[in-house]
Structures are given as C-alpha cells and as structure tokens.
C-alpha cells in the first residue's frame, strides 16, 4: 500500500542497471510520477539505492548527507581509464613483490580527512557536460581536488593481486578515486573489479527489496 505522503524505498541495485533505470522501473510499476534517488550508484556497482516518492523527495538532500559504507574488491598491478571494468584493462605491471604488510602500512594514508580528485568517468559537470561524456569521447577532463573523510578502512581479504576492503566514508567520496590513488601509491596501479554499497546512514542493504519485486508478475 502506497503512502499518500510518499515513501522511502530501499532497493538492492543489480549489476549493469543505472540508478535512473531503477527509478524508471519503480515509477512505472508503482504508477507514481514523483520518484527520485538519494545518491547515484555506477552501473557496475551493486547494492543499496534509496528512492523517495511523493513528498518524501524533500528528504533526498538530507539522506545524501549521510555517511556511506561500501565493500570493494580491487585488483592491483594494472589500471583502466574508468578505474573499473567499464573500460579495458591496461598498463600491466608485476605486483608479486607487494606484501600484505605493504598494503596495511598504506592504510593510514587513506584514513581520516584526505584530498582526492574525482575520476574522469564521473557525473560531475565540466563546461556544461558530464565528465564521463567527455572521457568516453576521448577528451581530456580536468577536475579539482576535494576534501573527503574516510572514517573506517578495513581490509577483509588480501590475496595479491586481489584486495577486498570495507570503507565508511563521507558524502562526495569516490571509491574509484580511492582505488586509483592506492594503486598509484603502490606504483603498480589498481582498478575495481567489484563494488557494493552496503549502508547509507542507518539504512542497510539487508533491508532492501530486489528489483525483481518491481517486475510485472507473469
């Protein structure tokens, strides 16, 4: 039953769906005109996407301010232009000399208030166009550094060249920038092979509906 004053809907976004794809599907199935999301997820990311309907769309900006939690798998020893698998893997470098201790020693450099430059493949507008539109067209993209806060950084599994970690961060943090900078610090490069948003504030992906819940019944 829809709330006439609007709803906050938690969705576990599937792989390769854009955030707007999810908005369109939910809008169509619920037959409500006013639906918005509180924070984009890249097509190759999965996990918690919060949708607001009706009058609840007024809460979107407040939800966007909340801290986020992600679980990320990065591969070291190569890069991609998009820092994920949207683009081809390149710049292969040996990484077998890097140890678990080397990675753990870098953690303090990426904890607390840090400066990061958003990835070229991002939705930030540059000269009236989205940065990713310019990047996909092969145009140079210059973005300014910004201050973000990494509140927690926990390494869950280190099996070189694959490293899985959990990060709790502030609004505006780009996990792709974090991985890119981590790879540069190790001098071998890195890219994301999997990214999942698990929490926004007190909203958790475990409580989210699957997109199939909004598919027409056969």
Q: How far apart are CA 18 and CA 117, in angstroms?
A: 23
pLDDT at 123: 72
pLDDT above 50: residue 179: yes
32: cis peptide before it, omega within 30°?
A: no
Cβ-based neighbours of 169, under 8 Å, separated by 6 or more: 67, 68, 69, 70, 148, 149, 150, 151, 175
Q: In 3D, which of 196, 195, 191, 197 has the Cα closest to residue 84?
A: 191
Q: In 3D, which of 128, 167, 126, 164 has the Cα closest to residue 148?
A: 167
Q: How far apart are CA 73 and CA 165, in angstroms?
A: 7
Q: How far apart are CA 142 and CA 156, in angstroms?
A: 33
Give the E-state strand segments of 91-144 in sequence order: 112-116, 125-126, 129-130
Catalytic residues: 42
Q: What is the DSSP letter of 120?
A: S
pLDDT tens digits, one per residue of 86-111: 999 999 999 999 999 999 999 999 99
**Predicted TM-score (pTM) above 0.85:** yes
User: Is there a contact between 81 and 62 (Cβ–Cβ < 8 Å)?
Assistant: no
38-66 mean pLDDT:
94
pLDDT at 218: 47
pLDDT above 80: residue 130: no
pLDDT above 60: residue 143: yes
Mean pLDDT of the chain: 91
Residues of the chain with CATH 3.30.2350.10: 68-199
Pick the CATH number of 68-199 from 3.30.2350.10, 3.50.50.60, 3.40.50.1000, 3.40.47.10: 3.30.2350.10
162-190 mean pLDDT:
96
User: Is there a contact between 174 and 196 (Cβ–Cβ < 8 Å)?
Assistant: no
User: Is there a contact between 130 and 124 (Cβ–Cβ < 8 Å)?
Assistant: yes
pLDDT at 216: 61
122-145 mean pLDDT:
76
Q: Which long-range contacts (CB under 8 A, 24 or more apart) does 150-159 make?
A: 150/110, 150/111, 150/112, 150/114, 150/178, 151/67, 152/111, 153/107, 153/110, 153/111, 155/103, 155/104, 155/107, 156/71, 158/100, 158/103, 158/104
The number of C-alpha atoms within 13 Å of 98 and in the hemisphere containing its C-beta is 25
Q: What angle do CA 69, 70, 73 make, to 5 degrees?
A: 160
How many other C-beta atoms are found inside a 10 Å radius of the C-beta of residue 129?
13
């Amino acid at each position: 039953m829809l709330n006439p004053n609007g709803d906050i809907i938690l969705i576990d976004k599937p792989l390769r769906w854009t955030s707007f794809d999810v908005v369109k599907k939910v809008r169509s199935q619920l037959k409500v005109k006013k639906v918005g999301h509180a924070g984009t997820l890249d097509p190759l990311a999965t996990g918690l996407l919060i949708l607001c309907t009706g009058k609840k769309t007024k809460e979107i900006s407040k939800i966007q301010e909340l801290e986020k939690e992600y679980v990320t798998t990065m591969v070291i020893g190569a890069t991609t232009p998009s820092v994920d698998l949207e683009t081809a893997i390149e710049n292969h470098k040996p990484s077998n000399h890097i140890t678990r201790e080397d990675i753990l020693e870098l953690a303090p450099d990426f904890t607390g208030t840090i400066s990061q430059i958003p990835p070229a493949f991002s939705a930030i507008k540059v000269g009236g166009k989205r940065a990713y539109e310019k990047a996909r067209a092969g145009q140079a993209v210059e973005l300014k550094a910004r201050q973000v806060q990494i509140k927690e950084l926990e390494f869950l599994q280190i099996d070189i060249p694959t490293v899985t970690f959990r990060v709790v961060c502030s609004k505006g943090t780009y996990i792709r920038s974090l991985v890119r900078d981590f790879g540069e610090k190790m001098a071998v490069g890195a890219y994301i092979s999997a990214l999942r948003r698990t929490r926004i504030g007190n909203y958790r992906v475990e409580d989210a509906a699957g997109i199939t819940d909004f598919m027409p019944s056969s």
